[in-house]
Amino acid sequence: MASDKPVVLMVDDDEEIREMAKTYFEEVHGHHFIAANSFDEAVRVIHETPDQIVAFVDIHLKGGKKSGLDLLRYIQENASHRVVPYAFTGETSLLVEAKALQAGAINVFHKSVDQIDRLVVYAEESLVSRLVRRWAEDDLTGLDNFHAFRRAVVAEMTAARDRHDRQHASVFGLLFIDADKFKSINDTHGHLAGDMALKEIARVMRASVRPTDHLCRKGGDEFLVWLPGADQAKALEVGREIQAAITGTSIHSESGEAISFSVSVGASEVARDEIGADVEQVLESLIDKANKSEMDEKALLGLPGRPRR
């Protein structure tokens, strides 16, 4: 059974601090505790941990190109929907505190033994005060998240089913878009490059659809496009346009290296008269069918893929 406590991430280059925090959070209070000693390691943990995270970040990380302030900014820009960041520092300067707050820290704590218990309290309260809200937007790409997408699509299908008029579409198309070999981008060029690729996919998707269409990042490297008035063939045509535009673009790593990437697409459709009482199940079925179509495309091209869970 999953714990109702948030995952605690301590990012500090001081091993003694990490061990002390582990004792308090994990052994005394029963939190899932993860320690990281650098920006890169912390970013990896954030990407690989699906649960909500409360992060305590040492402002002055040593041994790497990026500091704790850089990590706070990264969290604010890319993961604020599920990571609550606090700054943790040995300095008492007001200027340092101001920089940490400007970078995205919710609060600033000072390193001392008697502070650790306070960190536990803040870790648990933060889950109540900030993380229980369901956000409509995916922070990384700016697209809708799946919850908001599902609400909009279910409402649109329900209205079309119940009102047979010209204002509501008689058919709907769905696209399932998945980045190809995305893991290799992360493994070879780092998670920052992976984030840039996802943002570029979202940008191309926005430029390729109508204002009446719905887009979302479903999770990871998977995206959905809802196309009112489009059958499966038309939806796939839009998908091919998105696919071609993404193949023709590239991003650049921190070293300036150009990175090309591609996506696979699959499509499905539902007619208004086929929408039954359980509209959410209709949507789930459409996603499964489009996902299978996308997986078939990957298989034909010899690309690795995974079925939807």
Residue 247: partners with Cβ closer than 8 Å, 6 or more residues away: 260, 262
Could you tell me where in the chain the CATH 3.30.70.270 domains are found?
146-301
Kindly state the greatest CA–CA separation across the chain: 68
Could you tell me where in the chain the CATH 3.40.50.2300 domains are found?
7-131
CATH architecture of 146-301: 2-Layer Sandwich (3.30)
Please answer whether residues 54 and 32 qualify as being in contact, where contact means their C-beta atoms are separated by less than 8 angstroms. no
Residue (of 129, 138, 300, 164) closest to 221 by Cα position: 138
pLDDT given at position 185: 84
Q: Specify the amino acid at residue 228.
A: P
Strand 222-228 to 108-110 pairing: unpaired
Sign for the CA dihedral angle at 162, 166, 167, 172 comes to: positive
Please answer whether residues 289 and 268 qualify as being in contact, where contact means their C-beta atoms are separated by less than 8 angstroms. yes
The CATH label, of 3.90.25.10, 3.40.50.2300, 3.30.460.10, 3.40.1210.10, for the domain at 7-131 is 3.40.50.2300
pLDDT given at position 309: 45
| Mean pLDDT (10-residue bins), the chain, 309 residues | 70 90 85 91 85 88 85 85 85 86 89 71 64 64 89 88 83 95 84 90 94 91 96 96 92 83 94 94 96 86 60
d(CA 16, CA 296): 51
pLDDT given at position 116: 76
pLDDT given at position 2: 43
pLDDT given at position 26: 85
